[in-house]
Chain A
Amino acid sequence: MTQEIYTLLKQSEWFSNLPDEVIHLLMERVKTHTVQPGEAIIQRGQQDDSVFMIQSGWVKVVIPEEGEEGEMVLNHVGPGEMVGELSLVDQRPRSASVIALSELSVLELTRRDFLEIMEQYPMMGLHMLITTSKRMRFVLTYLEQAVTWSHKIAEGDYSFLEEEQAAGGPGSVVDHSASDSARANRFLAAFFQMAQDVQKREAELKEQVKKLIIQIDSGKRDHEIEQIVGSDFFAKLKLETLQIREERDKSKKA
């Protein structure tokens, strides 16, 4: 177990290239947790400031959609990667929730321990910055793609969704061998699927007009007409109308 943690830390983005003494110091401080699929290791809005390193398994980073049970997936994170670094730095509430996709083993490092170690080994801070910059670049790619697709939707073009669906099945974990842009597309596709659902609903509403017209009860219609046409008044009216029309035609000719 200790060896495993050692290897993991040595290979991680934040701690690789740090001398063994720092790694050993970290190993003393981190706490190991086992998390079941579906459980959250971080809850959006919560006020805590630990950072987590995934030892094994995968998590999804999600933002819940307002007023609904749905969620928007921002990222998938796997072994050797960190989550929760924002609150570690700025101590503000958690910006997103992190939920286990599979059984998970994570290492927790508190802000207090992190700062203590960083005081002795400032290089660790630089590594953290590099990782955070990478995440930032991913977010920018994500935004850029979101804007591009929004424009397409405004023009009624949903073809990019089909292309994206063809590129990979939904629900599977998006690993890091893919480029930032390919990964952003995968996550955004799920979100923009919603826009396509809206379009479908709109089309269905238009279709309802057709259904409305078709719903004329011909039996009822015939019965009502029969009642009117069968009355004495109608017979008299029809006769009078014919006379009026004849007179009009005569006066036209005259």
Chain B
Amino acid sequence: MSKIVSIHSFRGGTGKSNTTANLAAQVALAGKRVGIVDTDIQSPGIHVLFGLDGVSMGHTLNEYLRGEVPIEEVAFNIGDHTGDVSGRVKLAGQALYLFPSSIKGSEISRVLKDGYDANKLNEGLQDMIKTLNLDYLFIDTHPGLNEETLLSISISDILILIMRPDNQDFQGTAVTVDIAKLLLVDHLHLLVNKALSRYDFGHLKAEIEGVFDTPVAAVLPLTEDMVENASGDIFSLAFPDHPWSKGIRQVVDTILKIG
């Protein structure tokens, strides 16, 4: 039974795309057939982590949603195009498909102007799972709680809400948690990212679980090493022994157990 895993955060800048890419890559590395959809059509970004640019990504989700191409023509198999960076190269031969959104200015403004059909997206996701026989489909959502996001949340089997340990994130995440519960998401997990090293992570996890009444899959540290990596690679593959990468694998274990 395939699972839809939405990775969401109420605010931008939580490291959502980066986390999605790392989780999906690790699940693929565990031998599962994995897809990643960038539904952040207004500001797509996950393709960069997989070394794609406007030319190499080929057809996009935008074209599929307008009914111009079938879904399989949008799928880009990372396992066949890893490039030679130290982390991504480990994905060679794995089934990891990216469904990129267009990064063309005209395409983005078209979506902003017209919106896109939420139901069509839903159909598309089912189409992806079926056509590519996926075990897991990861959705990198748009921050906030707009209609597309609510749709992504509602059709998720697993929802991972990323938050930083700061007040603005706490407030927005509290709202998102309640909405997700109202939408009856089966498996809701929080993921704390960019935690300052001065915090006691164990204590932080317990506090947040208490306040949100929701399990925290991991507390990931804020790390300068990540900034140096500058989005050019999949961090947890390139630096598997780093505390951040270990935290990511903890989340992956949680996801695989649900599957």
Interface residues of A (CB under 8 A from B): 202, 205-206, 209-210, 212-217, 220-221, 224-225, 228-229, 233-234, 237-238, 240-242, 244-245, 252
Contacts and interface: CB of A to CB of B under 8 A. Distances in A.
B112 interface: no
A110 to B, nearest CB: 55
Closest 7 CB pairs of A and B: A241-B154, A224-B175, A213-B211, A216-B174, A221-B174, A213-B207, A225-B178
A214 B182 CA distance: 23
A221 B204 CA distance: 21
Given A206-B198, A212-B167, A215-B170, A237 B150 contact: yes
Contact of A212 (B145, B147, B151, B170): B170
A209 B203 contact: yes
A245 B183 CA distance: 11
A241 B119 CA distance: 11
B171 A217 contact: yes
24 contacts: A202-B198, A206-B200, A209-B204, A212-B167, A212-B170, A213-B170, A215-B167, A215-B170, A216-B170, A217-B171, A221-B175, A225-B175, A225-B178, A228-B145, A228-B150, A228-B175, A229-B179, A229-B182, A233-B147, A237-B151, A241-B155, A241-B184, A244-B122, A244-B154
A220 B174 CA distance: 10
Contacts of B151: 237
Contact of B199 (A209, A224, A241, A245): A209
Interface bin, chain B: 20 to 34
A209 B208 CA distance: 10
A205 B200 CA distance: 10
Contacts of A220: 171
A212 B200 contact: no
A221 B207 contact: no
Contacts of A209: 165, 199-200, 203-204, 207
A233 B148 CA distance: 11
B166 A212 contact: yes
Contacts of B227: none
A205 B198 CA distance: 8
B55 interface: no
Contacts of B230: none
Given A216-B170, A225-B175, 20 more contacts: A202-B198, A205-B198, A206-B198, A206-B203, A209-B203, A213-B207, A216-B174, A217-B171, A220-B171, A225-B179, A228-B145, A233-B150, A234-B150, A237-B151, A237-B154, A238-B183, A241-B155, A241-B184, A242-B184, A252-B1
B258 to A, nearest CB: 14
A212 B198 contact: no
Given A210-B207, A228-B179, A245-B184, A240 B171 contact: no
Interface string B104-145: 000000000000000000100000000000000000000001
A252 B157 CA distance: 14
Contacts of A237: 150-151, 154, 183
A202 B204 CA distance: 15
A225 B200 CA distance: 31
Given A206-B198, A213-B207, A233-B150, A244 B155 contact: yes
Nearest to A224: B175
A225 B207 CA distance: 23
Contacts of B167: 212, 215
B161 to A, nearest CB: 14
Contacts of B203: 206, 209
- The residue in A213, A234, A245 that gathers the most chain B C-beta atoms within 10 A of its C-beta is A213
B186 to A, nearest CB: 9
Interface in B168-204: 170-171, 174-175, 178-179, 182-184, 198-200, 203-204
A244 B184 CA distance: 12
Contacts of A229: 179, 182
- The residue in A209, A220, A234, A242 that gathers the most chain B C-beta atoms within 10 A of its C-beta is A209
Contacts of B200: 206, 209
Contacts of A245: 184
Contacts of A215: 167, 170
Contacts of A205: 198
Contacts of A214: 211
A221 B172 CA distance: 8
Contacts of A238: 154, 182-183
Nearest to A210: B207
B3 to A, nearest CB: 11
Contact of A213 (B179, B182, B208): B208
